[in-house]
Amino acid sequence: MELKKDSNAVAIDMLLIVHSEKLRAAEGTHLNPQAEPDSRLQRGGGFQGVSNGTRKWQKLEGNDLHGNLAEKQHRQQPQVITSYDNQGTQLTVEVHPRDAMPQFLKKFSLAKRLQGDKNGNTRPRQPGNKDAHAYPWDRSSLKSMPLDLQQFEKVDTYASQVTVKSGLDELVSDLLQEAHSDLERVRAIWIWICHHIEYDIEAAQEKDRQAFKPTDILRTQKTNCDGYAGLFERMCRIADVQCMTVPGYSKGFGYQTGQSFSGEFDHAWNAVYLEGRWHLLDSTWGSGLVDKATSKFTFLYNEFYFLTHPALFIEDHFPDNKNWQLLKPPQSLRQFENSMYHKSEFYNKGMLSAHPDVSMIRTVNGKATITIESCAPTLFMFMLNGKQEHGLLNLRKNGMKLEVYPPTMGTHKLQIFAKGNSDIYSSVLEYTVNCNYVDLGVQLPAELHQPVGPSWFSEQMGILKPSHPDPVIHTRDGRCSISFGVEEGISVLASLHGDDALITEETQRRYIFQLHREKRIELKVQLPHAGKFALKIFVKKRQEPGNYIFVFNYLLCCANTKVNWPVFPESFGNWGQDNELLEPLSGVLPANRNVPFKLKLHGIAKALVKGQDTWPLTLNHEGYWEGSCSTAGCQEVYVMVLENANHNFYSYILKYRVNTQ
């Protein structure tokens, strides 16, 4: 054996003779998945390498690893096996029959950067320590290199409009007209593929995934993930940019929370070499998404998967070769399976972290708590088993807190959505909640919508300095008073909701009496019975048309079974914003009684109470209108006002019902 060294490589001349019996044993070793855990055999025999440290089998003229016919017909022909290891080492071995003498020696090279193969193509160097990023994510950037996306505006606009004229070479040449660096060349190719190549769902679902040729992809403009990655690599090589295809497992279409991965790889993506370092991207997932319900593909560009930070990329991409994780330390397959899957929209919409950080969680005393931290105020919502029920979601300045109470024992699907800067809520997290105990004392109203409690959002909508900052209010006697400031020009509407028939659509506002005092609003609330209720708050700008907008709600809780408050009196449009009702607060008056009235009314000339007869109210020195009324012989009682002393027209402002018993 002769050893030679130079500045670039180490070459070893070696003669290896293997007997045929040992050859068959060696073949069996290569076909044993336990012996070669990093390699995956494709259907139809032989593993086709993808230049990522896996083995590449070369067959000569009918030589078949699974049969002997070709061996008998060409017994004098040597078998040639070429292998690449994870460091780029190339080993070529000739295997001769027992009675044959080798005619020449093969060499293998341990090159430091680029190797040449039998076709004269160069092999990019494998990733090393200089390519690795620290794990876990340091929150510095979503990208693996500093990027200003605005610098790509010209390239993006141009590349997205380039059309295929003839072949792949001409297409790449056209794309590179506005690209002046390797980074811009990669960007142009990325943008074109993401905007022109459609995901072929039928091909992806075939049992034996077919290989897509670049010419076929250009003609049909459809392919599967292998085709996306292969096309991207081919176009990069034409553009003289080092690129690799990386196969592996993914948490993509059809992924179920907590599932394990085994067998053949289900996805492929790319690594590109830019500015002295490897970077990862996935043009399949950058191009759009597949609707689970309809299994239809929709173009929807996703910037997240372009040069993604490896510590984020590993959440849904696990490569066959751990070196292509570009992480230190690398993650195991078990860690990949058990780790929390933050969807790309989680990061696109400014989320930073979530707790718990595992996808399978258990309730504690019937409750599961989830918190999310975001880099800016964000709107959230959730669904438990497809319904917006059984949870309390409280917005925070930089995130949210969610408490869910599954209604039954067993497994439940929890989805969390975020709005971000767009007008659409997108799914960002999914949990599987295992519940082994149900707290029957926690039964939330079905009408309790999200969010619960005041927050930065209610302040943004004009509701300021609430008297009750917490989302849950407990009352012993079934009554409470809630106040908050309001911005100029904002109207507020409130309604009470429970899960029984006592609170109807007609009466849901009658258990609340709204008072205006300077720049604050007070809501007096009386509950019809013990239980849990949703107090919804709506706002609207007075000068703008349209409906009131839901802002938030409180959860009101009362355990006193003796509570049985009636509705408040019904108010009409002429009830002024600054008016105040001191008595009677009950909207149901006793029969055959003299009932005292005391109100503060602004800007009126006269006031009276009308039942069977009419009783005037007088203005006292404190500014209150006072008087009394008999409920004998009447079913309804009204408070009426005269706004202009020169007119005789009275307006209704309050209505009471007289109890018939």
- Catalytic positions: 225, 267, 282
**E strands, 488-542, in order:** 490-497, 512-517, 520-526, 531-541
Distance, in Å, from the CA atom of 244 to the CA atom of 228, rounded to the nearest integer, reads 12
Q: What DSSP line would sit under 149-216, residue for residue?
A: GGGGHHHHHHHHH----S-HHHHHHHHGGG--SHHHHHHHHHHHHHHHPEE-HHHHTSSSPPPPPHHH
Contact 351, 334 (CB under 8 A): no
DSSP H or E segment with residue 28: helix 20-30
CA distances from 504 to 425, 495, 509 (A): 31, 11, 9
Q: b/e per residue, 403-413, with b = 16+ CB within 10 A?
A: bbbbbeeeebe
Neighbouring residues of 232: CB distance < 8 A, sequence distance ≥ 6: 189, 190, 193, 243, 245, 270, 281, 283
Q: Are strands 351-355 and 368-374 parallel, antiparallel or unpaired?
A: antiparallel
φ, ψ (nearest 5 deg) of residue 124? -60, 155
At residue 488, φ and ψ (nearest 5 deg) are -60, 135
Q: Look at the chain and count its residues.
A: 661
Q: Which residues contact 531 (CB under 8 A, 6 or more apart)?
A: 498, 499, 500, 557, 558
Stated as kind and residue range, the H or E segment containing 286 is helix 283-287
Q: Round the CA-based radius of gyration of the chain to a whole number and report it.
A: 37
Residue type (1 letter), 246: V
